[in-house]
Amino acid sequence: MAGVITGRFIYWVDPASWVKGKGHRVSIVVEGERGHYPTGSADKEPWWWGDRQDEARSLELAEQTALEANTRRGFTEEQVMQILMSSMRGQRRVRR
């Protein structure tokens, strides 16, 4: 995902992304592109949502935060699911 996002995208939380003391790491899913892009890089701290100490509570809070963020961006739950599903059949694109 290096560079600018040109398509529609949503925030998504991978259930396996929890790190004790931080929470769940937020990912970006781009419509039609396979997979997801965890936030952060070598020189940028990732976004962490949820609870820092309780993994089960963290996932619930992080998913609620993602839903609220996507709703604020104008997406319905159905549109979020469509974009998420498109990432499972999309193609990985190389951007330069």
* Within a domain: 66: yes
B/e letters for 6-44, b = 16+ CB within 10 Å, e = fewer, are eebbbbbbeeebbeeebbbbbbbbbbebeebbbbeeeee
The enclosing H or E element of 5 equals none
* Within a domain: 94: no
Beta strands 48-49 and 37-38 are unpaired
* Within a domain: 73: yes
Residue 15: is its pLDDT beyond 60? Answer: yes
* Within a domain: 58: yes
Q: Quick count: other Cβ atoms within 10 Å of Cβ 66?
A: 20
Residue 90: is its pLDDT beyond 70? Answer: no
* Within a domain: 59: yes
Grade residue 67 by pLDDT with cuts at 50, 70 and 90: very high
Number of domains in the chain: 1
* Within a domain: 23: yes
Model pLDDT for residues 22-58, shown as the tens digit of each residue: 999 999 999 999 999 999 987 889 999 999 999 999 9
* Within a domain: 1: no
Residue 57 structural domain: 9-89
pTM comes to: 0.84
* Within a domain: 2: no
